Amino acid sequence: MGVIVAFCATVHAHSLTGVGSLSGVGRYFAVPIHRHFKPRILLFLLASLAACGSDEPGSGEADASGQASDASARSDANGAFEAVPSNANALFAYLQARSYEGFAAEPAVHASTGPHGQVRSFFNASLVATLTANGSDHAVGAATVKELHSNEGLEGWAVMVKTGDGTSASDWYFYEVFSTTDSSEIAVDGNGVASCANCHRGGTDFILTKLP
């Protein structure tokens, strides 16, 4: 087992496949690298660390009260099912089935302004309603699914689901996986994960992507 040493003002990545929990507050920290560590997950971590900023107390941990459980099912004006799961097993199956494809979506794949590469984002009806109304915070159940693309096509997803009534990072469930067939290639899975929240906190209640 090797070790990678990195530095960031504040970082905490939770529940990484093959990686122990890592944290640091204005200091160097060591990340143990196991033999099954996925290279693409390492690249994502390094990109996220380069963009990290200040953290808020308690973020980076899955909420102990169960905020990371599935958000309540919701229906849009036409009765279409729009709930996005907020636990890893159910969510991966949901993504594989492309159950989000009926959502409002960006017209085409494009370069991300963050560390995600080539992307296309989808917005469920709850999120669309708030963004359209220029609301300052989103309802529980609001969600966005970001497809991650390469030259070979779709290679994974990044997902955000609002699971709490507040406007802090811990009210959001973050998920990112770098495979469409292997659920073990998870890079992010949990509420308030700082490597995601630190980039997204500049958006409207953590949502940076604009409606198409």
Which pLDDT belongs to residue 134?
A: 93
**pLDDT value of position 115:** 85
Domains of the chain: 2-50 (no CATH), 88-200 (3.50.70.20)
Collect the ranges in the chain with pLDDT lower than 50.
1-37, 45-46, 49-80
Question: Shortest CA distance to 121 belongs to which of 99, 146, 151?
Answer: 146
Q: What confidence score (pLDDT) does residue 142 get? A: 96
Task: Kindly report, residue by residue over 40-73, the tens digit of the pLDDT.
Answer: 555 554 455 444 433 333 333 333 334 333 433 3
Q: How many CA atoms lie within 13 A of 24 on its CB side?
A: 15
- Looking at residue 82, its pLDDT comes to 83
Residue 41: predicted pLDDT: 52
Helix (H, G, I), strand (E, B) or coil at 192: coil
What pLDDT, on the 0 to 100 scale, is given for residue 69? 39
Q: Which residues contact 89 (CB under 8 A, 6 or more apart)?
A: 183
